[in-house]
Chain A
Amino acid sequence: MRRVNRDERARIALTLNGRKLAAEAEPRMLLSDFVRHVLGATGTHVGCEHGVCGACTVLIDGVATRSCLMLAVQAEGREVRTVESLAASDGKLNPLQQAFRNNHALQCGFCTPGILMSFTDYLARNPHASRDEICDVLSGHLCRCTGYAGIVAAVEEAAGKVK
């Protein structure tokens, strides 16, 4: 049994965007804060911190997850992917990101990393997602700039192009 006391800092080993690493966190630290403040991957944004807005969505073993609703210690041994993993090392956008750019699917960009991670998971399961299915998945995110139409258009464009 794994046990960590409240005032103790546990060493948490996990894979972040393909890199194995380990860092310390106390039990109450949220994965969202661990990823941003301890591991330094600030692409993941924190909005509401109670699972409503979807801005902090990351992939855990390939599955879209709200990182504010998960403790860092729960991610121990797991593979975590954040928005930093999407573009190529030379900065070239992946097809989903490029589709967002083509369709003006972001303005301030605060919600974008979470939405990209949700559809990275969803399009991997359902590459030719319909408009209705896209809207259903998008209902798990809040965007205050775009009115969503551009986002739906972008995901429709990407559907089938994302491996």
Chain B
Amino acid sequence: MKPRPFDYARPDTVEEAVELLAEYGDDARILAGGQSLLPMLNLRLVEARVIVDIARIAELDAIRDRGDMIEIGAAVTQNKLMSWPQLQKKVPLLAAAFPFVGHFQTRNRGTVCGSIAHADPSSELPLTLAVLGGEVVLRSKRGTRTLPASEFQIEMMTTARETDELIAAVRFPVGEGQGVAFDEVARRHGDFAIVAVAASTSKDGLRVGVGGMAGHPMVRTINGDTVGAISTWAEELEGYEDLHATPALRRDLFRNLAPRVIEEAKRCAG
């Protein structure tokens, strides 16, 4: 199908972009890579009065090393970050998750921030951000605020972003030397996961996150008996039903997948 008509604006600066968002609010949709927005426009699941295309704002197309955090601007594509030479060393969990993010062809245009903005409950990048305890930087005409990942994604495809705010960047904590692992079950490699699990060693214990079991990524720190902890956790998670899986199947997948991912993260920490 084809999108309904909309106005198109391509601001040259962040100031121009947030000016448009302040004017149009909910009637504006932000376009960066378009790999989530365009399918929804084509299928007429969403419509917009104005599309604000931020892909050519140079200031947003940067990967910045801030010491304890790696900041990814809103125009940075997934493949650009995936091929960043420092990624494996600085944020190993992100490097482990990337091969599961969409396909080569969609990663070429899809942005890191766009995936986090879209907030699909089984998506890999929001899960990774949640497990690592990253941040989202929001800019508007009113100023800039930073939210932890846990406060950003509220529900299925719903975030704490106000309608006049632009996700200017996301920040992943640097995790050099962490033992990490990521795995998921999907119908076809690169499709949305039915259940995705990420694990990372940390000084407080093992950080484990699961996508596809609730409206947003669920994260816990686990010490000691992992199989028991996962089993209990799986019972607490309600899961949800869609075309691909029932809640019971999701719980079963989680119970089987999580211990393997955890073992791999521990082995990787050596």
Q: Which A residues fall within an 8 A CB radius of B?
A: 1-7, 10, 26-28, 30, 33, 49-51, 54, 57, 60, 63-66, 68-71, 73-74, 118, 121-122, 136-137, 139-140
28 interchain pairs (CB within 8 A)? A2-B9, A3-B8, A6-B5, A7-B5, A26-B5, A27-B5, A27-B6, A27-B8, A28-B2, A33-B2, A51-B38, A54-B105, A60-B109, A64-B105, A64-B108, A65-B105, A65-B108, A66-B109, A69-B34, A69-B35, A70-B38, A73-B8, A74-B31, A118-B104, A136-B104, A139-B103, A139-B188, A139-B190
Contact of B9 with A50 in the complex, beta carbons under 8 Å:
no
Q: Which residues of B contact A49 (CB under 8 A)?
A: 1-2, 42
Q: Which residues of B contact A73 (CB under 8 A)?
A: 8, 10
Chain B interface, number of residues (Cβ within 8 angstroms): 35
- Dominant SS at the B interface? loop
How many residue pairs, one in A and one in B, have C-beta atoms under 8 Å apart?
A: 109
Q: How far is the CB of A14 from chain B (nearest CB, A)?
A: 14
Q: Which residues of B contact A7 (CB under 8 A)?
A: 5
Q: Which residues of A contact B31 (CB under 8 A)?
A: 71, 74
Contact of A139 with B189 in the complex, beta carbons under 8 Å:
yes
Q: Which B residues fall within an 8 A CB radius of A?
A: 1-12, 16, 31, 34-35, 38-39, 41-43, 51, 53, 55, 99, 102-106, 108-109, 188-190
- Compute how far the CA of A137 lies from the CA of B102 in the bound complex, rounded to whole angstroms: 10
- Compute how far the CA of A114 lies from the CA of B100 in the bound complex, rounded to whole angstroms: 21
Contact of B7 with A3 in the complex, beta carbons under 8 Å:
yes
Q: Which residues of A contact B38 (CB under 8 A)?
A: 30, 50-51, 68-71
